[in-house]
Structure 1
């Protein structure tokens, strides 16, 4: 609904800008013709000569070619300058809504991230306090509860890092922060993501498998890398049918670290594979599965993979659809490996 309204507003703005440029062009042409005619009449022979020509019954008027060429050059330069000034004014008016939208977007991300920081910090503090109680004997819990609590604490800290990364991205300094940060162990980030996503995978009756070939260091912030890997794995789980497997693998290729995520879903349909990374782009939903293993798919807003591309480009990498068919889809995330070693 919102996308259709945005498209309509964009078409309206385009027509308005086109009409303004057309009117300016028409004014420049008409003005140039009028000034040319006035210049030619001004540069004709003197009045006395005109009277003699009129008395002799002749209808010809002679104009110096040098004067005509000079006049046309002056008028041409004046027309170009006038058209340029008017075009600048029109361009500023056209770009102003885009600038306002970017400011609103950055302000929203910054405000949302800032507001989320406090409740997440409170949540992390409560989990930490509960851990201390269990460790100190003030509260009892079995090994499984203790392990789940530790994972909740890790997830809360990861959320805090993600919110901080979003806040930095809204401020426009995220690339500098990523460059200054220490290299990140890719395998550790992937393993951490898979541990966190195992709960969601179990709910969907989907198995997660990790194949690591080599050990890589990546010049990226841990929060940004975690966001990208988590979004790709989440997308795969969302399209994987019950009883299937999502395979995540990492490998080194020359100076790049490659993360591939493969699901066994129905493939990308209803949209070009190259467009799945566009914001709000969504493929056709998979047919609903019936039976005991059926699960309700979560709504998709077409944002997750767009964020993956944003993270990849921000760190000098790329993301693409390596393969897609009715037996599954493979997404490939490529990031530059750190020069400090592998």
Structure 2
């Protein structure tokens, strides 16, 4: 994120500098060559030369003008490149200094979220355990507490997962049977798919080297999102380099599509959750160098993971 910001600042500085250099140097070149080519004619009372000699002198002068113009052009180009290089180095330094406080604050925020989420996890688990142990039935107040505790536990888990994604940059690769791994993960999600037609198109992938933990987490996030928003059907396609999850629910509006992977962004404000799931999936994909995209196609919302 900060690398993109730094590069953008450098690009803006270089673009402005290059434009100014181009305009100024072009003006210098045009003015200089124009002045050289429009010198006043020799006075009438000047020494008279024969036609041949006069023509020779004119050719010599014109030749010197052309040489001078070329030398000026080369000098301006070299000077422009040198100035651009200097500006690039200075811009890099200034951009790094400008985003340094923001980066430090962001890193501190990530550590805080990770630590806070970890600390909150224990009391939430204790509350849930005590509610279960109390075994109080048909009490709406207790039911409300259980429901809100479950929401807090889910939110806390997402925050912790997001913080870990930001803090842990190492990618653990291992050889796995992706088909078998996917089938096991989907089996655990079947109870939530009651009433939904789930169509699988899994091509036997054999064993491939991949970050299995991140792949499964992305898979579960995408399927979970499809379950939430589908009407009657979810389609899943998997091969050795691509995962596609599509649902037949209401498609995402064009104005929301560019923001769908942003943190805490919710296209459907009435939906449950806080808009972290897809952001986590995108962060995991980026960390592994995978591509995760979304589009509306054939009245379906389609997520594609290329790995």
Specify if TM > 0.5.
Answer: yes
Identify which of 316, 321, 336 aligns with 2:290. 316
* Contact map agreement 1:116 1:163 (CA 8 A) in 2: yes
Aligned-partner SS, 1:178: coil
Following superposition, the deviation at residue 258 of structure 1 comes to: 1.9
Following superposition, the deviation at residue 335 of structure 1 comes to: 4.0
State the Cα deviation string for residues 107-144 of structure 1 (Å, max 9, x = none): 4542222002222222334466689x88xxxx9356x9
Residue of structure 1 in register with 2:133 after alignment: 140
Residue of structure 2 in register with 1:222 after alignment: 213
Cα separation, 2, equivalents of 1:189 and 1:96: 47
Counterparts in 2 of 1:30-45, with a 5 A limit?
Answer: 30-33=27-30, 36=33
* Contact map agreement 1:246 1:263 (CA 8 A) in 2: yes
Following superposition, the deviation at residue 320 of structure 1 comes to: 3.7
Matched, 1:252 2:238: yes
Query: Which has the higher mean CA deviation after the structures are superposed, 107-116 or 94-103?
Result: 94-103
Following superposition, the deviation at residue 252 of structure 1 comes to: 3.1
State the Cα deviation string for residues 21-80 of structure 1 (Å, max 9, x = none): 554333213333565578889xxxxxxxx899714499x763345534432332121010
Identify which of 164, 171, 178 aligns with 2:171. 178
Structure 1 residues 21 and 304: CA distance shift in structure 2, 3 A: farther
Aligned-partner SS, 2:165: helix
State the Cα deviation string for residues 123-173 of structure 1 (Å, max 9, x = none): 334466689x88xxxx9356x99xx999998986675343211223xxxxx
Cα separation, 2, equivalents of 1:300 and 1:72: 65
* Contact map agreement 1:260 1:332 (CA 8 A) in 2: yes
The two structures have a TM-score, normalised by structure 1, of 0.53
Cα separation, 2, equivalents of 1:158 and 1:189: 18
The two structures have a TM-score, normalised by structure 2, of 0.57
Residue of structure 2 in register with 1:119 after alignment: 116
Aligned-partner SS, 1:85: helix
* Contact map agreement 1:276 1:305 (CA 8 A) in 2: no
* Contact map agreement 1:270 1:283 (CA 8 A) in 2: no
Q: How many residues end up aligned between the 2 structures?
A: 272
User: RMSD over aligned Cα, in angstroms?
Assistant: 5.6
Structure 1 residues 116 and 154: CA distance shift in structure 2, 3 A: same
Residue of structure 2 in register with 1:165 after alignment: 165
